[in-house]
Structure 1
Amino acid sequence: MSSVSVAAEWEQLHDRFYRKPELYSLQWGGARMDLARHRVACAPFGGPVAAIRDDSKIVQLFAESARRKLLIFSSSGHPLASAAWDRPGGRLVGMAWSDDLLLHCLVQDGSLYRYNIRAELVGPPVSLGKECFEQGVAECVFWGNGVVAITESNQIFCVPDFKNPRPCKLADPGIDEFPLCVAVIEPQYTMSGAVEVLLGVGDYVLAVEEDGVQQLGVGIGPLQRMAVSQNGKYLATFTHDGRLLVIPTDFSRIIFEYTCESALPPEQIAWCGLDSVLLYWDEMLLMVGPHGEPVCYYYDEPIKLIPECDGVRILSNSSMEFLQRVPDSTVSIFGIGSMSPAALLYDALDHFDKRSAKADENLRLIHSSLPEAIEACIDAAGHEFDISRQRTLLRAASYGRAFCSQFPRERFQEMCKVLRVLNAVRNHEIGTPLSIQQYKMLTAPVLIGRLINANQHLLALRISEYLKLNPEVVIMHWACEKITASPAIPDAVLLEQLLDKLKLCKGISYAAIAAHADNSGRRKLAAMLVDHELQPSKQVPLLLSIGEEDTALVKATESGDTDLVYLVLFHIWQTKPALDFFGTINARPLARDLFVTYARSYKHEFLKDFFLSTGRLQDVAFLLLKESWEFEKNPMASRGSPLHGPRIRLIEQAQKLFSETKEHNFEARAAEEQAKLLRLQHELEVSTKQAIFMDSSISDTIRTCIVLGNHRAAMKVKTEFKVSEKRWYWLKAFALATVRDWEGLEKFSKEKRPPGGYKPFVEACIEADEKAEALKYIPKLAEPRERSEAYARIGMAKEAADAASQDKDSELFGRLKQTLAQNTATSSIFDTLRDRLSFQGVY
């Protein structure tokens, strides 16, 4: 194809060229489509087209059904889905596609309905609030992920983010008449980070945000139409007197102005990239740039302008076109009279194909600029929609590479790869006419997501494999759709079909697909699928959701993950009767032990039921004892009946359980005595009106009784607990010494000969630092050693030495001398005795 024939398709706007290739000839699936009688929403990035018949237009009943439908087509006019449009809430105010390809339809009462690409309603409608419902929506403006609604009362409501649809009310603009035009600056382009609404009011513009209203551009209006540029920096406006103004969104100056032939406001106004503005009146499309005469295009049918990041798609009843600025690389090659290196390289290929020597002449001319020429050919190929022209440009680049070894081959390969993907999705059956710039901005993973949402799984899988992307998302979506679309296929057959494809992707989540099968009412298939899941963390929760508790518990215990085991335990605990739960966990040691560990801390009653059901009476008894210890921390626990107090009752219950097992006789006796002691101590506190007995030992109880002078109570404790006479003497002696009742102590010592001797009396007196009292009992000690040591403790060296000499114990002599060595007289006493007893060399 010659450069002249290519450039002949272009239109020049000052020093820039624009082209408008036809992307598709539209058939609309054989249906009759008239854009003039439909509300139309077109998704950016070559997305689908949604249409609903405009109820404000006259309907010819013989031509079509009176019942309105939501129709969804690809950009090539291929029907994708349809559904009856019977939404309540009044007339349709507006509709638009969000970034994630959900169609949002706003009706008069402020209800926002959402549809997917298959015309299925997604979730319940979102309401813009009671106030919006009462006033009624008059107009709305959508942007990528939100909507602004203006009510009949000139109040503004907004949903800033469709993914988190929380409506809010903006500041009151304070106007009585409905604005002449409305535009929105998206949150990402405003200083505040919140949406800003521009209202054309009178001869100025109101900038409305959530927290205030600002008046801008006084004297610039009245404005009839407004359009914000793709980057949010510029505003194209059409005034009441037929002028097109381009100004910054802060209204600081007028960038350029153009006076149109008609003051009639255009039906549509849109930006074509950032280089020009399009205005559409009936049958005429005017393209205005900052310099030079505008370009006119004429149509004999209605059109819809669809702004893209690098141009505008033009939808008509019969075709889809793309108006864009011709890329610089393309101009350098196909521009009329161009002598650029890229044009010469392209021409050299043509001469080479004709076997002309001029090919070598061209290459010699551009030898130093060959890398630049190759890059331009590759870049121009990327911007072409015509496949034959792509091929020719890439051949020219490849031809140049043969003479330029330093040019990176990866650049050429990458462009070939991108073009294969773009050509595949541009196919009429797929109908996604992405330009290369749109493709780079959209990214390959998002494109694949759009393909699978349109059920183009095979193409999505091939592109994923070709670009070396993980095909898991494609295969998972296909599997879920296969399950939904195959209700009549038996579970076993469908499982084989699914596994045949799922095994292509290692590490795929069978659990997610099984969850979809369960949600689709195919629980058996879900159970069969989840058995192939390798990750217990995904497998176990799903098994629980489909009622396979036993299998879930087995998988959880096999994994060794205690968190998973607890997840299953708590689920079964809540869903099964107690006895069934006990039977389930008792057969599995890990689950049983984890349950017991948890219940010991938080669920004593339930744990007691478990132990009783499994015959572990001693464990129940230990739990009862633990509960009684908890009561010990509560000072109120000692109050009440001595027989029926909570602590005593728990210990008595524990004693009964211990007594039923032969292995726990000791624990049974200990519990019995503990309960008996608590009862007795409680009686003592009641009688003495002093809370000093509870939880003390038997010895302390006896000692306290004697200290208080209640010898009868002390004797009762001794008798009840069979305290030995020897221990009794020790306890009473020390108790009497504590209260310094020396007369009582002496009287006690004379009641009868103490069973263990008089040592308790000596020790009690010495402990009380009463040497005189101690001397009453030391001589009564039976053993010389004991007398000697007692004398030594109260500092009576001579008596200690005399007693030691009676024992004739050399070791005792040495120890006593060392103890009393600080006294010289004492040392001489021991030396004299040593000589007398001949203990030479002993110490």
Structure 2
Amino acid sequence: MTAVSVAAEWQLLYNRYYRKPEIYSMQWGRMELTRNRVACAPFGGPIAVIRDDSKIVQLYAESARRKLHIFNSAGVLLASTVWDRPGGRLVGMAWTDELVLVCVVQDGTVYSYDIHAELSASQYSMGKDCFEQSVVECVFWGNGMICLTEGNQIFCVSDFKNPQPCKLADPALEDYPLCIAVIEPQYTMHGNVEVLLGVEDHVLAVEEDGVQQLGVGVGPLQKMAVSPNGKYLAAFTHNGRLLVIPTDFSRIISEYCCESALPPEQIAWCGMDSVLLYWEDMLLMVGPAGDPVRYLYDEPIILIPEFDGVRILTNTSMEFLQRVPDSSVSIFQIGSTRPAALLYDALEHFDKHSAKADENLRMIRASLPEAVEVCIDAAGHEFDVSRQLTLLRAACYGRAFCSQFSRDRFQDICKTLRVLNAVRNHEIGIPLSIQQYKSLTAPVLIGRLINAYHHLLALKISEYLNLNSEVVIMHWTCTKMLASAAIDDAALLEILLDKLKLCKGISYAAIAAHADNNGRRKLAAMLVDHEPLSSKKVPLLLSIGEEDTALVKSTESGDTDLVYLVLFHIWQKKPSLDFFGTINARPLARDLFITYARFYKHEFLKDFFLSTGQFQDVAFLLLKESWDFEKNPMASKGSPLHGPRIRLIEQAQKLFSETKEHNFESKASEEHAKLLRLQHELEVSTKQSIFVGSSISDTIRTCIVLGNHRAALRVRTEFKVSDKRWYWLKAFALATVRDWDSLEKFSKEKRPPGGYKPFVEACIDADEKTEALKYIPKLTDPREKSEAYARIGMAKEAADAASQAKDSELFSRLKLTLAQNAAAASIFEGWRERLSFQGVY
């Protein structure tokens, strides 16, 4: 195709070219747009059509019952459903950014449909005022809308994902506004929607917290449209003028006088460069300067604004009106001599085997990379596949003589065009431009494809672009389950696994959860068995009632957190005995349960040990509980807490006595309980809380200190304290109260069974040298006697006693003990020479 024939399709608006190629011949058969309400989604999205109940129309062979039809942009029917929604006449209908069809009826009820005409359960109302006053008009934007009631009150939903209707400030209007437009929240300073109302000769800007009067004298305005970037307003006045002004109405940027004062049916921006006005048979495109461009139509049209142009829908076709990209202008403009045009021309000569191809290349040698880039860019903006190929061939031809040009750039545009051409096919019907594709992004496009059930194409695009195909496989699997209710679980599992194996790392647990949600629990159990990650498998097994399997899988994983998750789930669900039987067969689960219960669930753990015959473990728990009583501050004040504590120890003693292996524990528990009872009696009798919790030795010592020798003897008798230990305890107790007479009398009662060392130690510890000298000479062991003399500083006596022991090591210790005493050192030196201990020193 020559450059002349390409440029002949363009229209010049001042100094900019526009083109309007037909993208689709609509496939919907007999369709009259004037008889219907139509909602078209941006980014080449679907088209919703429903008969307009505000008009009297002739019914042909169709049913009197209205139907909501959803088509793709090529007019291929995607879904339809009977419209039987209550609430009055349909007032407004539009697609959200997530391709949810929002329908608002007269009483303010909002219904939502997906692309398959399935009604969402999340319907809601715009509020009591809308119900009472009735909604008369709606204006939508990406994910929000405003509603105007008969009482001229404005209500807003700023986010359809979280619909919370709110009332904007009262504009205090007596008459219905002449026109309405909306500045989206993302383009306002305060981040909230701003509603523009054409009233008399000015505009009211209505926000949530106030109303502002703008542009006094600029109107009356009949139609308004806000630019794609939210900065400018195109307005048609009562006297046929088209004004372009900033949204703050600070000045008039451009003005054009139309031939008619009759307001247009539609007004829309074409990108940021021109404004479209549509009357019954004519579409007028007005730019900032120069003569406008007129397009004549013999059938009604609907303008669908895109950020880089406008799609034009008629009964029979879909066109895309856009500004011709600069790259295409530089190549195809008539008479162009730019490098890209010469490169494109060189390819044509090359195909004809003309030497002029080489001449063209030599002319643009220095600009060859630029020319290649322009051809690539122009190819990306083309809808015509043959023209794409020609431009890419020209770029490839130039790249052969341009070694420094990036190979990746060429590969990227080829990939992009393959994706775009695939989704532009009329069966898919998503006529994205390259700019729209880049803005939408490939993952979002794939999401739209799978929502339309084009899973195969979505999978191929994902693999082609090296994107994660898991989301596609997951969606296909869930959709397949819903559509395969008649297929048995085993057969369906084989079908699913055949596809799921294509995607490594896919979450079988998520698919199994979906199967369970759809009532196919057996299929869910079979699917979850293929999930390699225990962290995903185990929770799902619990949710589908497979507790035993979940316990097996969690213990096999070795993940204690998972085991605890299963344990707590079964614990709450099963009776105690069933729970005990379940965990007792699993050592890891049993040990983890015991560890947890030992700290937090003593009574439950005791029941477990009793059910399994582990009486000694119950006994140890009872002992621990008794020790916990000891920590209670009330237990140290002669309180009744001693009674329960003693009973716990006695219960433990009985349980220990059930097995021969725990005779020691049984005897120790018995004596402990006996000691606590005796100590409790002592505290009651002495009215001093100092006995309970102490040892037998401390109890005896305390009794003697208090002068209660009878009680001390009772403790000695009850617990069979040996004579040797008794002498030590009593000697130190008497020394503590410094009752030296009683101590001396006690030493003479009979010869102490362990000797007089306890009396010596008690006196020395009490720092009573005189009293100690009464007992040191009675020591029979010369070593003990020598060390005792040394401790009270009597060096000569210590040396005499050490000489009797004839122990060199003892001499060394004594010398160190008395090292600070010069006289003592002299004595030991004399003894060293006398006893010939030179080798020791």
- TM-score by length of structure 2 reads 0.91
Q: Are 1:8 and 2:13 an aligned pair?
A: no
The unaligned stretches of length 5 or more in structure 2 are: none
Amino acid of the residue matched to residue 73 of structure 1?
A: F
Q: Which residue of 1 aligns with 2:575?
A: 577
Relative to structure 1, the CA distance from residue 707 to residue 364 in structure 2 (aligned partners, 3 Å threshold; closer, same or farther) is closer
Instruction: Output one character per residue of 1:357-408: Cα deviation in whole Å (capped at 9) or x when no partner.
Output: 6656655655555444444333333222223333343344445555555555
Q: Distance in 2 between matches of 1:833 and 1:23?
A: 125
TM-superposed deviation, 1:274: 0.5
8 Å Cα contact 1:42-1:306 kept in structure 2: yes
1:539 & 1:835 partners in 2: Cα distance?
88
Q: Which deviates the most, 573-582 or 427-436?
A: 573-582
1:811–1:210 Cα change, 3 Å: same
Q: CA deviation at 1:177?
A: 5.6
SS of the residue 2:426 aligns to: coil
Q: Residue 383 of structure 1 contacts residue 435 of structure 1 at CA under 8 Å; is this kept in 2?
A: yes
1:466 aligned partner: 464
What secondary structure is seen at the aligned counterpart in 2 of 1:23?
strand
Pick from 723, 727, 733: which aligns with 1:729? Answer: 727
Q: Indicate how the Cα distance of structure 1 residues 640 and 356 shifts in structure 2: closer, same or farther if over 3 A, else same.
A: same
Instruction: Give aligned-pair identity as a percent.
Output: 82
State the alpha-carbon separation in 2 of the partners of residues 404 and 802 from structure 1. Answer: 114
| Whole-angstrom distance in 2 between the partners of 1:264 and 1:5 | 37
- Listed as ranges, the matches of 1:326-475 within 5 Å are 326-350=324-348, 366=364, 369-401=367-399, 407-475=405-473
Structure 1 residue 690 and structure 2 residue 688: aligned? yes
Corresponding residue of 1:17: 17
* Residue aligned with 1:51, SS: strand
For the 8 Å contact 1:59–1:66, the answer to whether it is kept is no
- The answer on whether the counterparts of 2:637 and 2:689 sit within 8 Å (CA) in structure 1 is no
Question: Match of 1:266, as an amino acid?
Answer: P
Q: In the aligned structure 1, how far is the partner of 2:44 from the partner of 2:215?
A: 36
**1:645 aligned counterpart, secondary structure:** helix
Which residue of 742, 762, 769 maps to 2:760? 762
Work out which of the residue numbers 83, 91, 96 in structure 2 matches 1:98.
96
Deviation at 1:555, TM superposition (A): 2.4
Query: Does the CA-based 8 Å contact 1:306-1:314 persist in structure 2?
Result: yes
Query: Is the 1:642–1:648 contact (alpha carbons within 8 Å) kept by the matching residues of 2?
Result: no
1:49 deviates by 0.7
Contact 1:90 1:108 in 2 (8 A): yes
**CA 251–816 in structure 1, closer or farther in 2 if over 3 Å, else same:** same
Deviation at 1:61, TM superposition (A): 5.8
Indicate yes or no: 2:14 matched with 1:26: no
* 1:601, distance to aligned residue in structure 2 (A): 2.6
SS at match of 2:295: strand
C-alpha separation in 2, matches of 1:712 and 1:132: 96
TM-score calculated relative to the size of structure 1 = 0.91
CA displacement at 1:252 relative to structure 2: 3.0
Note the alpha carbon deviations across 1:393-451, whole angstroms, 9 max, x for none. Answer: 33444455555555555444433332222222111211111112212222222222211
- Where 1:292 maps in the other structure, the secondary structure is coil
Paired AA for residue 15 in structure 1: N
CA contact (8 A) 1:75 1:432 kept: yes
Question: RMSD of aligned C-alpha atoms?
Answer: 3.3
**Pairing partner for 2:522 from 521, 524, 530:** 524
Asked whether the equivalents of residues 148 and 157 of structure 1 are also in contact (C-alpha less than 8 Å), the reply is yes
1:204–1:679 CA distance, 2 compared to 1 (3 A): farther
Task: Give, as a single letter, the amino acid of the residue that structure 2 aligns with 1:275.
Answer: D
Q: What CA deviation, in whole Å up to 9, does each residue of 1:749-804 have, x standing for no partner?
A: 34444333333233222222223333443444444554444344333455555655
Residue 81 of structure 1, CA deviation: 1.0
CA, structure 1 residues 810+128, in 2 after alignment: closer, same or farther (shift >3 Å)? Answer: same
Contact 1:272 1:312 in 2 (8 A): yes
Cα deviation digits, residues 798-841 of structure 1 (max 9, x gap): 55556556666666566556544655665676688889999898
The 8 Å contact of residues 69 and 81 in structure 2, kept in 1 or not, is answered as yes
Amino acid at match of 1:660: E
2:244 is aligned, of 246, 263, 269, to 246
Contact 2:638 2:683 in 1 (8 A): no
Letter of the structure 2 residue corresponding to residue 391 of structure 1: L
2: distance between equivalents of 1:383 and 1:561?
55
- Counterpart of 1:223 in structure 2 is 221
Change (3 A) 1:625 1:262: farther
Contact 1:637 1:647 in 2 (8 A): no
Cα distance change, pair 635–143 in 1 and its aligned pair in 2 (3 A): same
Contact 1:637–1:646 (CA<8 Å) still a contact in 2?
no
Superposed displacement of residue 63, structure 1: 5.2
Distance 1:205 1:619, change over 3 A: farther
Report how far residue 528 of structure 1 moved: 1.8
Structure 1 match to 2:304: 306
**Structure 2 Cα separation of the partners of residues 349 and 825 of structure 1:** 123
Please state whether the residue corresponding to 2:312 is helix, strand or coil.
strand
Cα displacement string for residues 93-152 of structure 1 (whole angstroms, at most 9, x for unaligned residues): 323222222222334454433322111233422455566666654443322222334455
CA distance in 2, matches of 1:669, 1:215: 97
Are the counterparts in 1 of residues 638 and 689 from structure 2 also a CA contact under 8 Å?
A: no
> How many aligned positions are there?
841
Shift in Å, 1:80 = 0.6
Is the contact made by 1:279 and 1:285 (CA closer than 8 Å) also made in structure 2? yes
Contact 1:94 1:139 in 2 (8 A): yes
Distance 1:473 1:829, change over 3 A: closer
Assess if the C-alpha contact under 8 Å between 1:642 and 1:683 holds in 2.
no
Structure 2 CA distance, aligned partners of 1:272 and 1:336? 24
Question: Are the equivalent residues in 2 in contact too, given 1:553–1:568 (CA < 8 A)?
Answer: yes
- Local SS of the residue matching 2:460: helix
**Structure 2 CA distance for partners of 1:358 and 1:835, relative to 1, 3 Å:** closer
- Helix, strand or coil for the counterpart of 2:225? strand
Does the 8 A contact of 1:642 with 1:682 survive in 2? no
Deviation per residue, 1:587-610 (Å, 9 max, x gap): 222222222222223222322222
Change (3 A) 1:182 1:722: farther
Deviation of 1:718 after TM superposition, in Å, equals 1.8
Q: Deviations over 1:631-687 (max 9, x none)?
A: 322212456776873332332232222222222222222222222222222222233
What CA distance in whole angstroms lies between the structure 2 residues aligned with 1:139 and 1:839?
121
Partner residue in 2 for 1:257: 255
How has the CA–CA distance of structure 1 residues 753 and 180 changed in structure 2, closer, same or farther, with 3 Å as cutoff?
Answer: farther
Name the CA distance, whole Å, in 2 between partners of 1:129 and 1:198.
22
**Partner residue, 1:677:** 675
Counterpart of 2:120 in structure 1 is 122
Q: 14-23 or 52-61: which moved more? A: 52-61
User: The residue matched to 1:795 in structure 2 has which SS?
Assistant: coil
Shift of 1:166: 4.5
Structure 1 spans left out of the alignment, 5+ residues: none
Q: CA deviation at 1:273?
A: 0.4
2:70 is the counterpart of 1:72? yes
Q: Which amino acid aligns with 2:438?
A: K
Alignment match, 2:554: 556
Deviations 1:254-275 (A, max 9, x none): 2112233344433322110000
Residue among 627, 648, 661 paired with 1:650: 648
User: 2:532 matched to 1:537?
Assistant: no
Please give the alpha-carbon distance, in whole angstroms, between the structure 1 residues aligned to 2:782 and 2:340: 127
Contact 2:283 2:296 (8 Å CA) reproduced: yes
**How far does residue 457 in structure 1 lie from its aligned partner after superposition?**
1.6
Equivalent-residue separation in structure 2 for 1:223 and 1:684 (angstroms): 104
Query: Secondary structure of 1:147's match?
Result: strand
Separation (CA, whole Å) in 2 of partners of 1:813 and 1:376: 108
Partner of 2:267 in structure 1?
Answer: 269
CA distance in 1, matches of 2:261, 2:126: 36
